[in-house]
Structure 1
């Protein structure tokens, strides 16, 4: 079983193989401003448009800012939040904890367990007070058995041992990077560890960002 994230006028789903299989721990790696939240939101919006429910945990944005951000990109989610198919979570406020929550508080939350996809944006050692990378990743792998878990992380904020364990324990990995080409900044999604696909993939996917249209896949990759 897989979840499609296809939306009209957007080839991202096609370029990334047609969907994400259930049982994956899907990690998005990229430094600040490379588009981790953008890609996470694009995937979430695509899942929702194909009837897949989502829980989105943010370590960075309160809900009002997130709604404004999604609207500006052309990925409105307010109606889905109201209907309950999209659950926006912050560890402190939504989980009603006076201080940082434990990871188990999140994974044992009944409303989160009901969702088909869990997105954690982004991995932050300060996010949960019981953070341990081995335990964290093992619990997320276990949690992904009946659903998809998507995790974002910034390698520059993690030590080498933590980055290594993320690479070892993730079933699927994409990296985001940018470079200057012809005086312009170009953005890329690289499919680094992508073993389970519905159909063929494009290994490196160039993209740009446009207000109101979100993530726009470029016609061809530049190496």
Structure 2
């Protein structure tokens, strides 16, 4: 299975850090955020990684190069203009192949073991959900018996972590350009073809200075 790190965001809420540095290269504990993902992917057996980028993306390529220093092979999907999540993944499909692939948001920090995400069982997508953080108290999806559903199936909705396994056929009928991933997922959920799991380990959406500081605290505490 190949993996894709989504790294095309501008990181507006992390300014001024991201005025001259792409968000995936912002450091936590002295290490660029994207390196945590690459090390975790390598540890989990992933050797082929695709990274999309737009804002200051050449810095990402200059830093990571072909991935050999990390024990992986890195390919890049360059976006002249940001294509949003759906459009970015769609553009990268020729690099990802015909089999299911893992996606990871480049601006999260987690200790999730990606080895547990290798099975699709006929689903078009498999989403990793986490407990609702303070910035998303209402959550995104319900999880019932290993399937993602949208309507009142359990006590509380959970938050999409930014980690998923997708099948390329999820994008059938899509056209090049900018579009969101969420409508494709909701259509597949309505068709009963999205599975999921609840991850209860460490996870932070590093979208603000406060959350970046939270990651720093976790690292310093040896977490």
TM-score range, shorter chain: 0.3 to 0.5
TM-score normalised to structure 2 length: 0.35
Higher relative contact order, structure no. (Cα contacts within 8 Å, ≥ 6 residues apart):
1
